[in-house]
């Protein structure tokens, strides 16, 4: 129960991270520059924690030999996932950009548990987990889909093969998110320390982003993120990201990929509703409906069934 509560709490950080990164992008411009700022803050925070706790920063030769080559580049895969997500909102609209990755992540995370991919503990897809997943899906429909159907219909979206391509990319994005969750957990198990695993992954991704921004001639935009002319909290998304990934590396071993992903989702949607209801961090005000409250309760019941 303790680990489930922590996983739900991790989900509460996601809306704040999204709001902070969105504001950051408005200031610095290109998405890859704002991602560099966010990842740099994450990496520096993790390095500081490592130094204070006396945790080795660099992996040993034995770790390098034991871990699969791809596991050291999980952070770069996370950057790719973020980039896809940024384009999805433009190409297929807000509703599909949220729901399609959400459902594909849900399904793929359950498959990871069932087959034990990425070194995850095998958790068979039994009747209880299927019922829990169905409750979660109904909850998502009530919380996300119904409130946005009217707005999405009015806004319209692209059509034809281009739309199909980005819908498939949305499915791919959700599968990547679930895969990253499992991969972080495996890297943590191999290294033996979730902080060190998270630090290595973020460091590699940050270096890759820095090289890309340098090649694009955009590194000078980074300083704008720390100007006193803008809200201080907009670069705090990096701290949220580091905390979420650390929680990923630590908690998946205890609750499984499926439960962690779903708990993160429930916490994310619950706080998003409160942020919109109260207009926190500049979010447009939207009244919480009874259907959304019912949806959150069903999602919590679904996660509990899957966990226990």
Rounded to 10 deg, the angle between the 74-115 and 146-155 helix axes is 130
Among candidates 7, 58, 52, 6, which has minimal Cα distance to 199? 58
Q: How many residues does the chain have?
A: 308
Q: What beta strand segments (E) does 233-290 contain?
A: none
Rounded CA-CA distance 210/183 in Å is: 23
- Which positions ≥6 away from 218 have C-beta within 8 Å? 29, 30, 32, 33
3-state secondary structure string, 3-53? HHHHHHHHHCHHHHHHHHHHHHHHHHCCHHHHHHHHHHHHHHHHHHHHHHH
pLDDT for position 104: 92
* pLDDT value at residue 215: 93
Closest CA to 148 of 104, 97, 101: 97
CA–CA gap between residue 211 and residue 206 (Å, rounded):
9
Query: How many angstroms separate the CA atoms of 253 and 281, rounded?
Result: 34
Query: With contact defined as beta carbons under 8 Å apart, do 6 and 264 qualify?
Result: no
What gap in Å lies between CA 260 and CA 7, rounded to an integer?
Answer: 6
C-alpha separations of 180 from 94, 176, 298 in Å? 23, 6, 26
CA–CA distance from 85 to each of 124, 181, 296 (Å)?
30, 16, 24
In this prediction, residue 95 carries a pLDDT of 67
**Can you give the pLDDT at residue 94?**
65
**How do residues 141-183 score in pLDDT, each as one tens digit?**
888 888 877 555 555 544 567 888 988 998 999 999 999 988 8
pLDDT score recorded for residue 153: 55
pLDDT number for residue 58: 81
Q: What is the dihedral of CA 187, 34, 90, 262, to 10 degrees?
A: 30
Which of 207, 192, 209, 206 shows the shortest CA–CA distance to 249? 192
Q: What is the pLDDT along the chain (308 residues), one digit of tens a residue?
A: 788 888 888 888 888 888 888 888 888 888 889 899 999 999 999 999 999 999 988 888 888 788 887 788 888 898 888 888 778 877 887 667 778 888 999 899 999 999 999 888 899 999 999 999 999 999 988 888 888 775 555 555 445 678 889 889 989 999 999 999 888 888 888 888 889 988 988 999 999 999 999 999 999 998 888 888 888 888 788 899 899 989 888 899 888 899 998 898 898 888 888 888 888 876 778 888 899 999 999 999 999 888 77
């Amino acid at each position: 129960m303790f680990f489930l509560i922590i996983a739900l709490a991790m989900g509460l950080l996601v809306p704040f991270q999204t709001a902070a990164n969105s504001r950051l992008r408005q200031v610095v411009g290109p998405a890859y520059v704002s991602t560099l700022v966010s990842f740099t803050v994450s990496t520096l925070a993790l390095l500081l924690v490592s130094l204070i706790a006396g945790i080795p920063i660099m992996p040993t030769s034995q770790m390098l030999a034991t871990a699969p080559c791809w596991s050291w580049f999980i952070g770069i895969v996370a950057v790719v996932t973020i980039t896809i997500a940024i384009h999805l909102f433009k190409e297929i609209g807000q509703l599909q950009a949220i729901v399609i990755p959400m459902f594909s992540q849900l399904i793929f995370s359950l498959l990871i548990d069932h087959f034990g991919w990425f070194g995850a503990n095998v958790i068979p897809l039994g009747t209880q987990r299927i019922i829990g997943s169905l409750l979660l899906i109904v909850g998502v429909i009530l919380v996300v889909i119904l409130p946005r159907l009217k707005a999405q219909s009015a806004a319209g979206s692209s059509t034809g093969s281009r739309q199909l391509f980005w819908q498939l990319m949305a499915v791919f994005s959700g599968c990547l998110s679930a895969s990253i969750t499992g991969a972080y957990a495996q890297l943590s198990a191999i290294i033996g320390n979730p902080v060190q695993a998270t630090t290595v992954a973020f460091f590699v991704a940050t270096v890759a982003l820095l090289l890309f921004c340098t090649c694009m001639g955009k590194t000078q935009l980074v300083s704008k993120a720390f100007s006193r002319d803008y809200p201080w909290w907009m670069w705090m998304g990096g701290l949220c990201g580091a905390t979420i990934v650390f929680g990923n590396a630590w908690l998946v071993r205890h609750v499984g990929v499926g439960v962690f992903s779903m708990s993160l989702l429930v916490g994310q949607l619950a706080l998003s509703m409160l942020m919109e209801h109260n207009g926190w961090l500049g979010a447009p005000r939207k009244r919480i409906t009874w259907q959304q409250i019912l949806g959150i309760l069903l999602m919590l019941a679904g996660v509990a069934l899957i966990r226990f």
